[in-house]
Amino acid sequence: MRTLVWGGVPVLALAALVSMDHIPGTDISLTVPYAAEGPGPMFDTLGEVDGIPVVEIDGAESDDTAGELRMTTVSVRSGMTLAQALSRWLTTDDTLVPIEQVFPPDLSPEEVEQANKQAFTSSEAAATVAAMNHLGRPVEIVVADTIPESAATGRLLSGDVIVGVDGQGVDKPGQVQEIVRSKKPGDDITLELRRDGRTVTETIELGENPHDGRVPMLGVYMNSQPVNGLEVSYNLQDIGGPSAGMIFSLAVIDKLTPGELNAGRTVAGTGTIAEDGSVGTIGGIEHKVRAAAEDGVELFLAPAGNCAGALKGQKGDIVVAKVNNLAEAITAMEDFGAGRDVVTCG
């Protein structure tokens, strides 16, 4: 009987080998240096998760909403054997990408998790600021948390309101970040805080970024909150990265303005958001558009810079709108709801 071989390895032996994640009796890994990106779950930011509003507003009357405004995600699978990677490539629409695109080689898993947490927190803060700017409402900066063993540890407390930095009044996280970036590790920075109803001043020596010793780091997670008792909370867990920013911002605006921003339709989208309302590009958009189309979403809001990728995922009757900023996203929903032409990626 003749044994079939592939590349000099007997087929039966190869089948066993590609299904293992390490060489038996050793710690040598047999996983491939690729990750699989595919469609992740969607969340209606106008709805609830586990009985809690995804976007919760306190201290102001929240207007009734209709339809859905979904944030989209990408699932990432890593640590795959060769057999698992081949299976996903052959039987799904997943995309295989080099593992370093997902997990930078110079970062530990803990550092990647921390970076994703920081990106998501910053996204929430930017979403609130962009929404308040659109609505003409003032905001202030609140400390959400500090990075362990950073310059801010023990000096800044959760709930502190940052009202000034080095004698300059501030009301947006980006202003604090800009002042920090203008300094060097070892420089002092003086923060004026409102803590438990009193004014506190903290002068802190800046640390250095662990990945680039030339970059100063304060080590604080900041959120923005509207003044006059209005509070915005985002109640999604285990979601990382900044790509929900635009949709979060639109949900806040919808809840704080009369009428229905999405015209009562089923809308999804993705994109980072800057404090000035600019919408930025993200990764994995073709998977997000495909998942939305297959689940009956009528309109997808895509960052202008992601249009080429978005069109790869376009299926059926879904309309993929091209947006550069928050105002264009709102216009796209208004035009779609009224039956007018929408500026699309096509």
242 φ/ψ sector (left φ>0, alpha ψ -120 to 50, else beta) = alpha
Please check the confidence at residue 225 and state whether its pLDDT lies above 70.
Answer: yes
Given this model, what pLDDT does residue 295 score?
Answer: 95
At 79-88, the pLDDT tens digits run 888 878 888 8
Given this model, what pLDDT does residue 297 score?
Answer: 97
Indicate the residue type of 63. Answer: D
Give CA–CA dist 231/140, Å, rounded. 11
Given this model, what pLDDT does residue 27 score?
Answer: 55
Instruction: Indicate the SS3 state at residue 199.
Output: strand
Domain boundaries defined on the chain: 5-30, 37-112+231-338, 139-226
| Stretch 271-287: mean pLDDT | 92
Give CA–CA dist 310/285, Å, rounded. 6
At 68-80, the pLDDT tens digits run 999 999 888 878 8
Of 100-109, 210-219, 336-345, give the range with the top mean pLDDT. 336-345
At 160-218, the pLDDT tens digits run 999 999 999 998 888 999 999 999 999 999 999 999 999 999 999 999 998 888 999 99
Please check the confidence at residue 14 and state whether its pLDDT lies above 60.
Answer: no
pTM value surpassing 0.85: no
* CB 59, CB 227: distance < 8 Å: no
| The listed CATH number (3.40.50.11890, 2.30.42.10, 2.60.40.10, 2.30.29.30) that belongs to domain 139-226 | 2.30.42.10
Please check the confidence at residue 12 and state whether its pLDDT lies above 50.
Answer: no
State the DSSP code for 54: S
| The listed CATH number (2.60.120, 1.10.20, 3.30.230, 1.25.40) that belongs to domain 37-112+231-338 | 3.30.230
